[in-house]
Structure formats: C-alpha cells, structure tokens
Amino acid sequence: MHSLLPFLYLFSAWTKGAWAADPTMPFMEYLDEKHMVCLMWGFDNLKGNITFKLEVNTTGWVGFGFSPNGGMKGADMVIGGVGPDGSYFTDRHALGNVEPLVDEQQSYTLLSMNEKDGQTIMSFRRSIQSCDKEDFLITAQPIKLIYAYGLTDEIKYHRDNRGTKEVNLLEYMPRTTSTNLNFLSATMDNITVPAYRTYYYCKYMKLNLTTKHHIYMIEPVIEQIDIVHHMLLHRCPSFVMEEDDRPCYMGDMGDTCFGVVAAWAVGGGVFELPENVGIPIGGADSGTIYRLEIHYNNPRKEAGRTDSSGLRLHYTAQLRQHDAGIMTTGVSPWTSLAYNIPPKNPEFHTYGVCNTTLFSELLNPVPELQFFAVMLHTHLAGRKIRVVHYRNGTQTGFLALDEDYDFGLQQTVNLGHITTVKQGDEIAVECTYDTSDRTNVSIMGLGSTDEMCLAFLYYYPAINITACVSHPNTGMSENSTTSDQNTIAEQESLMKNLPQIQYAFDDKHNYSVNAHGTVRDMMETPVTCETSNAASGLSTSCKMKPAGIILVLLYIAIM
C-alpha cells in the first residue's frame, strides 16, 4: 500500500494566473501552455471524495473531464458556467465527437460557480471510486485530463479551445518553477527528409559544458509536426569521437550509442524532472559525443521536406540532490527478431524482461534504484502497456501501466510515487497489440508499421547501465503467420514460455547476458468500485495576481 501523498503548498511566481492558498486543494496544474486553464484539486483519502477547482480565462461555458485516450469518445466530463439566468452545471459523457450527453445519474456535486475579472471559476467534487457506469474510474495512475471552453454560454463546438494533459491526480509529484533560462540545443540542421515512409536520421555532436550541470527540463522543438515520430538523445561511448550527421542504423560505430539522456515521442510535451533530481551533463564527460536520433514517419512519401527539429535541454549549475538516469527496458529493439505478431487479432501480447542480477557483472556495488517516471512506447498497433515489478519471484505491483495507450499521445509522466528496485529484482514489460485491421504479419522493427515494446524508465541515483532488455529465443521455435485464433493463442503462449535472452548494457557498450530468463505470471490489473460520500472542504477561488511568490509552508505526510 502506498501512503497518501504529502499535502504541500507550492510556490511559484506568475504574472497572470492562479495560486493555491488552501490545504484542501494543494495540487495545481496548468492544462495548457498559455496558462489559460488552471486546475486545482485535493482529496481526503483514496476511498473518499476528490474536489476540483477549474479556472478558465473565459466568461462562456467551461468543460473538464477524463478520457481513456485523450479524445472525446468514452470521456466522462462536466460542463458548466454562469449564464443570463444564473449558473448551470451537468455531469455528461461522450460517445464521440458530438455534444456530450447528460448522465442519467449526476455523480458530481457543484460547490461554487462564479465569474470574476473575465474568468469562470467552477468548484465541484465527486467520489474517487464512483460506480456509475458512465463515470471514469479514477486510479493512482496517470489519467488523461481533457478540457474545452466557449466564448459564450451557448454550448457548441469549441474549435481550438480544447486540449489534453496526462496527470497523476492521486499520486501527484509537485515541482517548483525555475527562473533559470540556460539551455542547450540539440537539433537537426535543415536536413532533407527523403520520400520514404520510415527514415531515421542521426546527428552526432558535443554539448560542451566544462563543469557539471543538471538538466532539469526537456523541451521538444518540432518543426515538421506531422512527420516527426520520436526523438532520442543518446550519450555515446568514448570510442565514438567524430561529430557528423548521417542516416542511423547503417551498421557503423554510431549504432553503439545506447545511453538515453532525453526522449520525446509524438503527442508529448515539455517534461520537467522533480525538484530533487537532474540528469547530469558536462564536467568529466564534457568531450562526450551525443547522438540525436529522429524517426521520421512520412506515410504519404512526400519529397522535399526539410527539418530542424530537436530537443532543448534546460540546465542549471545548482546541482540537485540526485543524478538521474534513463534506462531502456522491454523487448530488445536492436536485434533482428523472428517475432511475428499475427494479423486479424484484437489482442496479442509480447514480453520483455530485465533481471537486475545482470548489473553486478558490469557494476559493483549496485545501489538501490528509485524509479519515478516513465515514457511508454509502441507503434501503431499498440493498445496497452504494463510494467511489472517482481521481488524474489513475486509480483510486488505495477511500476507503470497504460491500459488505453494511444500512439498519438506518448508522454513522459511522473509516476507520482517512488518504486525501489533492489539488486536481484525483475522488471517485465508487457505490450498488447490489436492487428484486427491488418492482413499481413507485423514484425518487431524500426518502421512505424513494425512494432516495438519499450519502457524508458527514469530513476536515481544514475548508474552506468543504459539498457536492460530481452527477447524470446525464437531460434527454438517456428513463428506462425496464420490468423486462426487457436493457432494465435498457441503462438502467443509459446513466445511467452520460450527462454528469454536477457541483456544489460553499460555506457561503454559492454554487456552481460543470461540466455535462460523467464516471463513470470502477471496479476490482473486491479479494479475496485466503492461508493463514498465523505465530506470534502470547500476552497477559496483561484485568483489573478501580479507576480509574487507563495512560500512553502506546510508538509503533511499521511500514512
């Protein structure tokens, strides 16, 4: 059992926006980049009520809700505002990209609704574990929040006044705001993207900082948003010494750059690390070569497109408490696998396993690792990803999971809690694919119509292990290409039960291997449903204020 999160006051400086001054609503996120939509929330306990306050810079209607995939279909939401005849507020659900329907059972309670200084401020609450079939189940996992608003009180199509953001409401990890404006740019230089559906291009560069600094925020810089699929910045081994740019995965020395420093994929945004950790850069490794890899997905095979996308690495000389690292886990993406995913199948599973006993062959001693964030990654057929933690052969829980994975919304998210991984623990990544609309076998590979199964895990303290991945020993079997469901089930079971060849790599491209790994049984994703009417306190309104600083005053840890 995880303890409830500490209730904290946040401190930040804003020129225009919202500030928190109520211990019953200690958490706050802007849901949009322009700071037009502010959400505050708090809760009593995991089986009680959760209270929200939404502040939007409009005097029209406002909407807020939860979505399984970031879109309208299947979303649970409330819509309200202050009209000519007073306030209005309804609990609704969406069947698609049409006006949401009013729920038969109104599970949300309006606490207050008012307009002030050009803003609409709506406070409301609901049970965390609502049993209304039209309500979204709030869990201690990241949830895709959606919002929309109108300029008038006529509820109609919102046009561009909408958005989505993934937030862990129940295990939120607050961060402070830095005024440091220093950053490094790792970007392409106006490269020409050829008329290929899948194209990987790499730039090798130095990021010269003579003293050690910490990266605290990673910001994507996307020029061609419709074709940039993902970006990875790798730290290269010391024997990679030349600055250059060229296509990736050509079998040269550059393909040994495995150590992920920063990651972004389609649908992601800015990622800020927690205030006590930073990704180390500079100092002793100031001469290190870094490889920026961009995967271009060009399904229309358009010619003549140029691009200068990349990553902006915000850094500080004020070192944080811990050095953070990113470890690649899942199914090995670097080996040519006879690992077929059959067509015409709504649910096919693949597995990658990391056994941390391999670390001791590359590192001694091996410290306890604290995992705090993740970016999950498959390609177009991916529907679910679960990351499982085992100790002494027994599952302790889910390190991360997304049961409504959306290829177009791949974000790095804080887990909201810390998972300790000790030497000898295992991490398994399970990916579920839907190939119902495919007529040919899908393979594990680099193309967008191929598949991957990866979890980029953020942790501290940083060690020199860059990846811990596996693949089934498919040399001991024959892969099926059939769409017969019985044969598919047998194929999936065979792939799961074959010995897993496990690899751990370090930053010098040394590796350790175990050819006899296993995929352990996984528990079902827990789902609970209980109603509760526990009282929740009313809060003061978000306000617009001149720039100021709210000090951290309170820290309450509830066990």
Catalytic residue among 9, 30, 88, 200: 200
Task: Provide the phi-psi class of 250: left if phi over 0, else alpha when psi is between -120 and 50, else beta.
Answer: alpha
Task: Provide the phi-psi class of 289: left if phi over 0, else alpha when psi is between -120 and 50, else beta.
Answer: beta
Distance (Å, rounded) from C-alpha 513 to C-alpha 501? 7
Residue 177, helix vs strand vs coil? coil
Strand order in the sheet with 259-265: 244-247, 198-206, 289-297, 228-235, 259-265
Question: Which of 540, 546, 547, 559 is CA-nearest to residue 28?
Answer: 540
Distance (Å, rounded) from C-alpha 517 to C-alpha 503? 10
Per-residue DSSP letter, 540:
P
CB 250 within 8 A of CB 392: no
Q: Give just the sign of the alpha carbon dihedral 441, 446, 447, 448.
A: positive
Distance (Å, rounded) from C-alpha 123 to C-alpha 290? 47
Residue 200 designated active-site: yes
Residue with tokens 């309670």: 109
Q: Are strands 310-316 and 183-187 parallel, antiparallel or unpaired?
A: antiparallel
Distance (Å, rounded) from C-alpha 455 to C-alpha 429? 7
CB 124 within 8 A of CB 51: yes
Residue 326, helix vs strand vs coil? strand
Question: Which of 505, 488, 377, 474 is CA-nearest to residue 431?
Answer: 377
Distance from the Cα of residue 320 to its chain's centroid: 23
Catalytic residue among 314, 377, 379, 471: 377
Residues in CB range of 105: below 8 A, 6 or more apart: 91, 132, 134
CB 520 within 8 A of CB 470: no
Distance (Å, rounded) from C-alpha 27 to C-alpha 48? 17
CB 310 within 8 A of CB 188: yes
Exposed/middle/buried for 440, CB within 10 Å: 0-12, 13-18, 19+?
exposed
Question: Which of 7, 9, 59, 64 is CA-nearest to residue 31?
Answer: 64
Q: Are strands 289-297 and 228-235 parallel, antiparallel or unpaired?
A: antiparallel
What are 165's strand-pairing partners?
145
Residue 377 designated active-site: yes
Q: Tell me which residues are annotated as active site.
A: 200, 377
